């Protein structure tokens, strides 16, 4: 629709009313969790350069930015502020070394390969049926650190997007399997300690990602939250399901 001729046509009165309604939703504080989904609904109603949702490229999620530049803000083309990619590894916090060198797109490649996903699913099911079986443990531990690092690397505005991919599916399956009780080496013990410390700040923008990583390294019932008021509502629902 954005690339076709309809975008150049004048809006009917009911379309203008609908555009104003969507724009109000975009600006509403209680709609912030789905702000950029609302932006997608709004974009077909505005010609390039007519609609300004933000003056800062850094505010636009990576997955939306190329289309936003093309159809809404062509003057941003070539901006040095443009993010590099969906899962560009963040600058490492000196107090928390990366769990693994497999990060960003290199890590995501695992979860786009159906054969790899089938193998991981089989390992999780094998562990779920018999937690004393040592065969799947080492491989699952390797998968866990890759998943954990992905959740620490992704931008907070992309948590929901990542959760809806195979990364989210495998993360939730691993948590539900009870594999968090299994620590295979000293690195796992250190990761558990460091994640638990980071997870104390529930007001931090990265709290959902840190908590998902933390839950993969703890047994069921071992992580207790005193309050969920500071967490996004969509993530509270995820926690309830877990």
Digit-coded pLDDT (tens) for 83-127: 334 444 444 344 567 888 888 877 888 888 888 999 999 999 999
pLDDT at 35: 81
Instruction: Report which DSSP code applies to 80.
Output: T
pLDDT (tens digit, 9 = 90+) per residue, 194-205?
Answer: 998 888 888 899
Question: And the tokens for 179?
Answer: 């594999």
Is the confidence at residue 176, as pLDDT, over 50?
Answer: yes
pTM of the model: 0.62
pLDDT at 17: 84
Between CA 160 and CA 55, with CA 155 as vertex, the angle to 5 degrees is 100
* CA 214 – CA 75 distance, rounded (Å): 41
Closest CA to 158 of 227, 108, 101: 108
Which runs of consecutive H residues, i.e. helices, occur in 90-158? 104-110, 114-129, 137-153
pLDDT at 94: 44
pLDDT (tens digit, 9 = 90+) per residue, 31-81?
Answer: 767 788 888 888 888 776 677 777 677 677 778 888 888 877 777 776 534
Rounded mean pLDDT, 138-150: 93
pLDDT at 79: 53
pLDDT at 165: 92
């Amino acid at each position: 629709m954005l690339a076709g001729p309809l975008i150049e046509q004048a809006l009917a009165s009911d379309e203008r009313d609908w555009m104003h309604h969507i724009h109000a939703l975009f600006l509403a504080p209680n709609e912030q969790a789905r702000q950029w989904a609302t932006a997608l609904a709004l974009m077909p109603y505005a010609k390039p350069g007519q609609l300004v949702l933000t003056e800062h490229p850094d505010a636009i999620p990576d997955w939306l930015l190329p289309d936003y530049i093309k159809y809404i803000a062509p003057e941003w083309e070539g901006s040095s502020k443009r993010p590099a990619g969906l899962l560009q590894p963040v600058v490492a916090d000196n107090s928390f070394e990366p769990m693994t060198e497999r990060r960003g797109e290199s890590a995501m490649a695992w979860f786009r390969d159906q054969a790899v996903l089938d193998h991981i699913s089989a390992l999780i099911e094998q562990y779920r049926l018999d937690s004393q079986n040592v065969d799947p443990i080492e491989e699952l531990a390797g998968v866990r650190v890759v998943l954990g690092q992905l959740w620490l690397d992704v931008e907070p505005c992309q948590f929901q997007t990542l959760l809806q991919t195979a990364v989210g599916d495998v993360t939730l399956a691993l948590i539900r399997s009870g594999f968090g009780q299994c620590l295979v080496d000293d690195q796992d013990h250190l990761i558990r300690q460091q994640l638990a410390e980071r997870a104390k700040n529930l007001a931090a923008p990265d709290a959902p990602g840190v908590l998902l990583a933390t839950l993969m390294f703890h047994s069921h019932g071992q992580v207790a939250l005193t309050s969920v008021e500071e967490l996004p509502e969509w993530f509270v629902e995820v926690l309830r399901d877990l």
